[in-house]
Amino acid sequence: MKIDEKDKKILELLANDGRMSYVDIGKELGLSRVAVRERVNQLIEEEVIEGFSAVINSEKVGKQVSAFFEVDCEPSSLVDVAESLAENPSVASCYQMTGPSTLHMHVLVEDFTKLESFINKELYSLKGITRVESHILLRRFKNRKGLKL
């Protein structure tokens, strides 16, 4: 699928406000509601748009501590460790990375007691982890809500 400038603008508008109506998008682009709907449906079918979701402020829902982890694993344990971590409700994201760390993970928890419990009971208990490095978020300056084209 070739993405033209109108598709890029649709993606930008939806990244900023996923609830924006097709009528309002059409007004911005000089397209009809039907034309916008067809373009959005095509972007969904081609998996350019993977889904729509709400961006939730974790602090407002009681997740006061945001931590990032670099987790090295034995190669034979990588997939098992990653799948186990991905199932954990405290894990917001988990990625396999290149470089010195094998997994990069973002964790959201209520407080430092919960973070300590997560580290000691749920992370260190996994077989195959060889190193863990943690970083606590102090302040957020920017949060990506979608790909900027």
Any domain includes 147: no
**Crossing angle for the helix pair 22-29 and 5-16, to the nearest 10 degrees:** 130
Q: Say what percent of the chain tops pLDDT 70.
A: 95
Please check the confidence at residue 148 and state whether its pLDDT lies above 80. Answer: no
Map residue 126 onto helix, strand or coil.
Answer: coil
41 plus 66 within the same structural domain: no
Report the pLDDT averaged over residues 109-130.
96
Reported as a single tens digit per residue, the pLDDT across 29-86 is 999 999 999 999 999 999 999 998 888 888 889 999 999 999 999 999 999 999 999 9
Cβ-based neighbour number of residue 107 at 10 Å: 26
Any domain includes 141: no
Cα→Cα distances 140→7, 22, 57, 136, Å: 30, 32, 11, 11
Q: Say what percent of the chain tops pLDDT 90.
A: 79
Please check the confidence at residue 133 and state whether its pLDDT lies above 80. Answer: yes
Environment class of 35 (CB within 10 Å of its CB; exposed 0-12, middle 13-18, buried 19+): middle
Amino acid in position 30:
G
Does the global pTM surpass 0.85? no
132 plus 84 within the same structural domain: yes
Check which CATH number belongs to the domain holding 32 and give it.
Answer: 1.10.10
Any domain includes 53: no
* Contact between residue 47 and residue 114 where contact means Cβ atoms under 8 Å apart: no
Could you give the CA distance from residue 104 to residue 142 in angstroms, rounded to a whole number?
19
- 127: domain range? 58-136
